[in-house]
Structure 1
């Protein structure tokens, strides 16, 4: 029987220790995800860690360290497909990126234990749990800080609503007023709407504006003949 020939108590115990360590460390990481009711919770993180440890340990026992390194490379890329399954797009928002990154880190923990680097696996687990817990208050604090429109790098658009017969004049007036206010225009687009309204959109070259200055320009433009409505908006480039 082939099992009798290949079974060696020493390497078997080494494998058992690596898999057990991967199970325990994956449990610690997954427990935090399960507590927060994430898509990839306790069982998923444990299985990722144990699976990665098993593949790396198997490669080391069969072909040595060089082949184990190749298996680790495949584990890293393979976890990417698993992580993509927990990422969901809801409108303009993307959810699950942190959970996918945690799965990636669980695989790294498994690779460490599978390669008999238990201390490194424990250290990595500590950093992963710290990143998911201790950094949360800092993230919340940063999210509550209002964005400084003058410091943020953004794209600014000035929009004027007019009728088809006044498009040319309104367009020239828009560029003239913005240039006079020291806000050069990079592009001007014209969009027609179904209710016979035409929108003239000027994109500014500036990466930052002073809101009161743009408001003053719009106040003058709103009183110009042919202008039905004047507004401006900004959007971050990231």
Structure 2
């Protein structure tokens, strides 16, 4: 491999990584220009190394890159309020690594085409997914909720029955129920529920509203765990 080929392939990796990162940065995602450029160029460096010495181990290096970048991508995936975030960013970084491999092997047209498809997919599929979201069957991920009620001691049993009977709505499933003294003759009753599908804010608001309608109730609220 001559020096000009090396520079051309690395330059293409840099340019494609920059374009992919620019789209991510302009749309407000954490992995922007620098990360995508570094991943695209890094995979090119690793792929070019055996080629510079005339080795035929390019395929083995490529499989190692897939594993290494996959481990790196796990660092951008995190759980937030019962939902998983960063999956799209991680998948984009993984595709960026593949594009870096294509560019480093001299398959310029395919590398450019792949980068265009990746950028186009991120730009077009995002609004499309948002439009389709309201008519989806539902999210099967399980969510946890907590309802907390502070009331007079003489209303404890009534509140407990209310929280238990809310289990009959078939959208919330009671996991835990406990009572504890607060101050004087006041008690706090805490119920924890699990549910699958879309957020149950309307159901939870209904339960809290029923509790607040009881004169002995001082405060009531709910939260997502």
TM-score class, shorter-chain normalisation, is: 0.5 to 0.7
Across the two proteins, how many residue pairs are aligned to each other? 220
1:106 Cα deviation after fit:
2.0
Question: Following the alignment from structure 1 to structure 2, what is the Cα–Cα distance between the partners of residues 147 and 195?
Answer: 47
Question: Following the alignment from structure 2 to structure 1, what is the Cα–Cα distance between the partners of residues 128 and 162?
Answer: 43
The higher radius of gyration belongs to: 1
Could you say if the C-alpha distance between residues 108 and 193 of structure 1 is closer, same or farther in structure 2, counting changes exceeding 3 Å?
A: farther
After TM superposition, the structure 1 stretch with the greater mean CA deviation from structure 2, 89-98 or 48-57, is 89-98
Residue 4 of structure 1 corresponds to none
Question: Following the alignment from structure 2 to structure 1, what is the Cα–Cα distance between the partners of residues 84 and 194?
Answer: 29
Matched, 1:42 2:33: yes
Matched, 1:200 2:189: yes
1:216 Cα deviation after fit:
8.2
RMSD of the alignment, in Å? 5.0
Question: Following the alignment from structure 1 to structure 2, what is the Cα–Cα distance between the partners of residues 102 and 115?
Answer: 20
Matches within 5 A, 1:98-109: 98-109=88-99
Question: Following the alignment from structure 1 to structure 2, what is the Cα–Cα distance between the partners of residues 92 and 153?
Answer: 8
Question: Following the alignment from structure 2 to structure 1, what is the Cα–Cα distance between the partners of residues 81 and 142?
Answer: 23
- Deviations 1:202-222, CA, capped at 9 Å, x for gaps: 45677688968x948964894
- Deviations 1:188-215, CA, capped at 9 Å, x for gaps: 4225364454232345677688968x94
Question: Following the alignment from structure 1 to structure 2, what is the Cα–Cα distance between the partners of residues 39 and 182?
Answer: 40
Question: Following the alignment from structure 1 to structure 2, what is the Cα–Cα distance between the partners of residues 123 and 103?
Answer: 16
Gaps of 5+ in 1: 1-7
Question: Following the alignment from structure 2 to structure 1, what is the Cα–Cα distance between the partners of residues 26 and 4?
Answer: 32
Matched, 1:55 2:43: no
Could you say if the C-alpha distance between residues 33 and 155 of structure 1 is closer, same or farther in structure 2, counting changes exceeding 3 Å?
A: closer
1:110 Cα deviation after fit:
0.6
TM (norm. structure 2) is 0.63
Structure 1 outlier segments of 4+, above 6 Å: 84-96, 146-149
Matched, 1:228 2:213: no
| Contact 1:23–1:46 under 8 Å retained in 2 | yes
Matched, 1:187 2:175: yes
Residue 161 of structure 2 corresponds to 173
Gaps of 5+ in 2: none
Question: Following the alignment from structure 1 to structure 2, what is the Cα–Cα distance between the partners of residues 160 and 228?
Answer: 7
